[in-house]
């Protein structure tokens, strides 16, 4: 559901795995949005949810390409029976419900491995499956705080400050979950045995805080909030350039890069505030591309502060084929981000659009489970499968 779990599975789908996404009519993926969102919501094309908003949400349509959709009610006995029959055909089950949810359905790993002895499973609860906080739920900003990162963000002497980035703990857990799934499948192939991976979002995020953690663990020193500077470096900051809202980030991690920057900017040694002002004056008199080019040519770490529009137009990302154009039958044609690596010996799988809700009900049930058309129709009439979600919050 949402970001972390679907991104983890997307790692497999991008590499050619057959992925069946299961969601219920009464509990669809919340990144599909509600069933009646207000017009003007920015995650829909042209800010228009349309008549079938659950198929038009850009958030969902990004993370669920190359997947099939089976809208199956796991709270019904028939739905759980169908799920078990599908497990018998599978190599891996991935879930990111709260800890204990699969067990309450009778679908936890010990239950499923009796059906498929070499099955692997990756579970992705926020705080892991064990420990005193295992039953708690969380979102990305919650994880950011719990992992110790918010405590380091903010100005000296001021309060802690969230990053403002939308839930970065989710994509961190998602990519980590995808790698964990590949490790589980590799272990399965080598040994012939399955395994159950317990992946904690919290523990996936803590390495972002490793320097501060080790400072305290080794020396008992608690790192303080430093604003926009970097502990241990000589200079770190964002500086304005000419033009409308154009900025660069500059870092001088050591004396050598600092000397090169001082020569280019023609710095006059003075107080740190005066030096910062001199750098700002130098960058503000030049456009962003010139600043980046001159400092990069001198071996000084510098980067443009890019907006979403900048990223889509970025020549480097486009040269690497990071963005790809996908046409969705109900959301239209748009560019979507790819994965952060390139296969060395083959091109990426051509993307198929994210599935419509319940789009593959018939094909999955007839081809994998040999159900007859009459049996499939009966499941529709009894509400076990569906083509439309029930009314849900927006």
* Residue 18 falls inside a structural domain: yes
Question: Has residue 326 got a pLDDT over 60?
Answer: yes
Complete DSSP assignment for 146-170: HTTSGGG-S-TTS------SS-THH
Domain count, the chain: 2
Question: Has residue 40 got a pLDDT over 90?
Answer: no
Q: Which residues pair with 196 in a beta bridge?
A: 121
Rounded to 5°, angle at Cα 325 from 344 and 323: 50
* Same domain? 57 vs 190: yes
Range of 374's domain? 3-208+353-382
Q: What is this structure's pTM? A: 0.90
* Same domain? 146 vs 78: yes
Closest CA to 8 of 86, 91, 131, 95: 95
pLDDT in tens, 95-109: 999 899 999 999 999
SS (H, E, C) 178-238: HHHHHHHHHHHHHHCCCCEEECCHHHHHHHHHHHHHHHHHHHCCCCCCCCCCCCCCCEEEE
What per-residue confidence (pLDDT) applies to 225? 85
* Same domain? 125 vs 257: no
* Residue 171 falls inside a structural domain: yes
* Residue 393 falls inside a structural domain: no
* Residue 390 falls inside a structural domain: no
* Residue 60 falls inside a structural domain: yes
Q: How far apart are CA 24 and CA 357, in angstroms?
A: 9
* Same domain? 256 vs 180: no
Yes or no: say if 277 and 307 are a contact pair by the CB < 8 Å rule: no
* Residue 135 falls inside a structural domain: yes
What per-residue confidence (pLDDT) applies to 185? 97
Yes or no: say if 296 and 320 are a contact pair by the CB < 8 Å rule: no
Q: Spell out a b/e string for 73-102, using b for 16 or more CB atoms within 10 Å of the CB, else e.
A: bbebeebbebbbebbeebbbbbbbbbbeeb
Q: Taking all residues of the chain, what is their mean pLDDT, rounded to a whole number?
A: 92
* Same domain? 57 vs 191: yes
Q: How far apart are CA 2 and CA 284, in angstroms?
A: 41
pLDDT in tens, 242-300: 999 999 999 999 999 999 999 999 988 766 778 889 999 999 999 999 999 999 999 99
Q: Give the largest Cα separation in the chain, rounded.
A: 83
Q: How does strand 323-328 pair with strand 302-304?
A: unpaired
Q: How many CA atoms lie within 13 A of 356 on its CB side?
A: 14
SS (H, E, C) 98-138: CCCHHHHCCCCHHHHHCCCCCCEEEECCCCCCCCCCCCCCC
Give the Cβ contact number of residue 197 at 10 Å: 19
Yes or no: say if 302 and 291 are a contact pair by the CB < 8 Å rule: yes
Sign of the four-CA dihedral 88, 89, 91, 97:
negative
* Residue 45 falls inside a structural domain: yes
* Same domain? 40 vs 128: yes
Question: Has residue 394 got a pLDDT over 70?
Answer: no
* Same domain? 201 vs 273: no
* Same domain? 28 vs 170: yes
Question: Taking the chain, what is the end-to-end CA distance rounded to the nearest angstrom?
Answer: 16
* Same domain? 254 vs 110: no
pLDDT in tens, 58-107: 999 999 999 999 999 999 999 999 999 999 999 999 999 989 999 999 99
* Residue 229 falls inside a structural domain: no
CA distance to 147, 148, 165, 210, 294, per residue, from 162 (Å) = 12, 11, 8, 18, 33
* Same domain? 79 vs 134: yes
Flag the least confident range among 97-101, 123-127, 304-308.
Answer: 97-101
* Same domain? 279 vs 133: no
Q: How far apart are CA 93 and CA 95, in angstroms?
A: 7
* Same domain? 128 vs 269: no
């Amino acid at each position: 559901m949402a970001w972390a779990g679907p991104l983890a599975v997307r790692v497999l789908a991008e590499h050619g795995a057959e992925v069946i996404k299961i969601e219920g009519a009464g509990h669809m993926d919340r990144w599909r949005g509600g069933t009646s969102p207000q017009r003007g919501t920015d995650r829909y094309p042209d800010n228009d949810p349309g008549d079938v908003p659950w198929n038009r949400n850009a958030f969902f349509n990004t993370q669920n390409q190359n997947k099939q959709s089976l809208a199956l009610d796991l709270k019904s006995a028939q739905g759980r029976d169908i799920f078990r029959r599908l497990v018998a055909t599978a190599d891996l089950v991935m879930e990111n419900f709260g800890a204990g949810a699969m067990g309450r359905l009778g679908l936890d790993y010990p239950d499923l491995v009796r059906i498929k002895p070499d099955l692997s499973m990756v579970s992705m609860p926020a705080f892991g499956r064990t420990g005193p906080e295992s039953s708690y739920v969380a979102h990305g900003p919650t994880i950011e705080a719990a992992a110790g990162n918010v405590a380091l963000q903010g100005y000296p002497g001021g309060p802690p400050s969230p990053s403002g980035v939308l839930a970065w703990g989710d994509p961190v857990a998602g990519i980590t979950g995808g790698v964990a799934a590949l490790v589980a499948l590799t272990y399965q192939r080598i040994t012939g045995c399955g395994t159950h991976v317990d992946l904690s979002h919290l523990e996936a995020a803590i390495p972002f805080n490793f320097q501060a953690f080790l400072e305290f663990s080794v020396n008992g020193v608690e790192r303080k909030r430093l604003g926009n500077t970097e502990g241990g470096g000589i200079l770190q900051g964002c500086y304005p350039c000419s033009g409308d809202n154009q900025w660069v980030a500059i870092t001088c991690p050591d004396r050598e890069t600092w000397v090169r920057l001082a020569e280019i900017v023609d710095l006059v040694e003075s107080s740190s505030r005066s030096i910062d002002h001199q750098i700002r004056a130098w960058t503000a008199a030049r456009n962003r591309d010139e600043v980046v080019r001159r400092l990069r040519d001198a071996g000084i770490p510098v980067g443009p502060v890019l907006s979403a529009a900048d990223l889509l137009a970025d020549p480097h990302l486009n040269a690497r084929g990071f963005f790809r154009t996908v046409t969705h039958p109900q959301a239209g044609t748009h560019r979507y981000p790819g994965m952060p690596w390139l296969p060395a010996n083959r091109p990426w799988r051509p993307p198929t659009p994210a599935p419509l809700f319940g789009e593959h009900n018939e094909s999955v049930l007839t081809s994998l489970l040999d159900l007859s058309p009459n049996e499939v129709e009966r499941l529709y009439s009894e509400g076990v499968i569906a083509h439309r979600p029930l009314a849900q919050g927006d």
